[in-house]
Amino acid sequence: MNWYSDERVRSVRMLTRLMTARGSRSALHLCNLVASVHFSGLPTITLTEMRARLGRGTPGAAPGNVVLHGELHGFGAGSIGEMAGLSSLVAAHQPRNLLEFGTCQGCSTWHLWANSPKDARITTVDLPSGLTVEGSTDPELQGDKVRRFLPEDPRVRLVETDSRSFDPSFLGSVDFCFIDAGHSYACVKNDTEKALSVLVRGGLLVWHDATWTDDDYGVNRYLKELRGQGMDIRQLTLGPFDYCALAVLVRA
């Protein structure tokens, strides 16, 4: 048996152990999440490369410090690696007018707020508390009533509406946008088109859940279509052991 097949057999044994272990539903889900990242069909860019691009092409030029909330992530907020990656991009880009689709409990909003300049404004859009809607995804996350991470700061504006009825034109020029609301094809297309209608050249657009294709998620399909139209969208990679399904675009 050569090294490669030996290694393969060991991996399959390990996966089988994981999937048959107690709590196997979450182990299986974790395996599927990791697989979706590895086989997403999107080209990748490392966080280091991305930060260098944001720091005007010079590696190490972007500010090095990143602020993380003590709880590291919240309900519906994805992985700790993704929160750290998002924070690092904001810290490197230093945007002044930020737009977010998908507030939930406000965990990602907190990280946008904590890592942007002290005069930055953040607008975050979510369904009104208690409301669930047709044509979106994750009904268990919709219309959260407790936005416990949301910073109490006049610079942070919460707009409670269905993003399909949201008109962003009052915001002026936005230089950072994070999309993590409804993950159906129609919702992500709506949110992306609205983000692009206000995003300046050189502005940064970040999508969450760019690789998952079950549960009616249409982000991956939509991003591939945009790539087909010439947009250089990349999947962000962190360290070799960190799960990250963020995708990024610097507006040309």
| The one among 107, 195, 233, 245 contacting ligand SAM by CB under 6 A | 107
- Is 163 a binding residue for ligand SAM by CB under 6 A? The answer is yes
Looking only at the bridges linking them, the beta strands covering 97-101 and 121-126 are: parallel
Interaxial angle between packed helices 185-198 and 219-228, expressed in degrees from 0 to 180 and rounded to the nearest 10: 50
Instruction: Tell me: does residue 76 bind ligand SAM (CB under 6 A).
Output: yes
Please tell me whether residue 221 adopts helix, strand or coil conformation.
helix
Helices 80-93 and 47-54, packing angle to 10 deg: 20
Q: Of 144, 88, 147, 141, which is closest to residue 114 (Cα–Cα)? A: 88
> Is there binding between residue 175 and ligand SAM (CB under 6 A)?
no
Q: Please, what is the minimum distance in Å from the beta carbon of residue 193 to ligand SAM?
A: 14
What are the structure tokens assigned to 186, written together? 């129609």
Cα–Cα distance for residue pair 193/54, rounded to 1 Å: 23
Residues 6+ apart with CB under 8 A from 23: none
Query: Using the rule CB under 6 A, which residue among 42, 98, 104, 174 binds ligand SAM?
Result: 104
- Select the residue interacting with ligand SAM from 81, 85, 95, 182 (CB under 6 A): 182
CB contact burial 117-136 (16+ within 10 A = b; e otherwise)? eeebbbbbbbbeeeeeeeeb
Residue in 85, 95, 102, 218 binding ligand SAM, rule: CB under 6 A:
102
Stretch that binds ligand SAM, among 34-42, 63-71, 138-146, 195-203 (CB under 6 A): 138-146
Q: Does 180 bind ligand SAM (CB under 6 A)?
A: yes
Among 91, 127, 236, 248, interactor with ligand SAM by CB under 6 A: 127
- Smallest distance, ligand SAM to C-beta of residue 67, A: 15
Distance, in Å, from the CA atom of 171 to the CA atom of 173, rounded to the nearest integer, reads: 6
| Terminal alpha carbon distance of the chain | 50
Which listed residue (126, 212, 220, 249) binds ligand SAM by CB under 6 A?
A: 126
Quote the tokens at residue 176: 């950072």
Cβ nearer to ligand SAM, comparing 90 with 181: 181
For position 187 contacting ligand SAM by CB under 6 A, the verdict is yes
Note the residues at the interface with ligand SAM (CB under 6 A).
74, 76-77, 102-105, 107-108, 125-127, 133, 136, 141-144, 162-164, 180-182, 187
